[in-house]
Amino acid sequence: MQQRTTERGFTFIEVMVAVVIITISAYGLLLGVVHARGEMRSIALRERATEELINYLEYWKGRIADGQLSVAEKAGNPRGTQIYLEGNQFSQHKVPATLYLDPIQFIPSPHPGGLRRWQLHARIRWEDFSLSSRSVQRERDLSMIMTEFE
């Protein structure tokens, strides 16, 4: 009678199955990290665009409060003003955006007594390459009514 000796350890097949399982799970984890990073960059660009839009409207509120608006300035800026959300015009990695201002409208006050109201509406457009290989056109709008007390 011959006695079989068994050796402890893993077979080659078991090791290869473990390697395949670890590779598939690492690939899934990598895809999740890349997607999360793209989403974070997209959110950061959207936040930066909103800040630029608010600053743009604050500038126009100051111009209205100054009382020196020309007829051309009241007509708005339909062609737009180019800015950069990331980088500058000389950077290799840049995100250009365009700020638009609709015509500034005077709103007659229903109440007499030295109250003047102005309606401002602006928007910003940019292209976002964060989430896919093709560009996605993004846009944010902001409207506000400015009240002046005489």
116 inside domain: yes
Using alpha carbons only, give the angle 87, 90, 93 rounded to the nearest 5 degrees. Answer: 45
- C-alpha span between 38 and 30 (Å, rounded): 12
101 inside domain: yes
pLDDT at residue 143 greater than cutoff 70? yes
98 inside domain: yes
- CA 45 to chain CA centroid, Å, is 3
pLDDT at 99: 95
Confidence of residue 65 (pLDDT cuts 50, 70, 90): confident
pLDDT digits (tens, 9 = 90+) for 43-62: 999 999 999 999 999 999 99
pLDDT at 125: 95
| Residues in CB range of 51: below 8 A, 6 or more apart | none
pLDDT at residue 119 greater than cutoff 80? yes
- C-alpha span between 25 and 31 (Å, rounded): 10
By residue range, what is the domain housing residue 56? 12-149
78 inside domain: yes
2 inside domain: no
Residue 60, number of CB atoms within 10 A of its CB: 20
112 inside domain: yes
Which DSSP state fits 4?
P
99 inside domain: yes
5 inside domain: no
Which DSSP state fits 104?
P
User: Given the structure tokens 């936040």, which residue do they identify?
Assistant: 47
Which DSSP state fits 102?
P
Please count the structural domains in the chain. 1
Residue 59, number of CB atoms within 10 A of its CB: 13
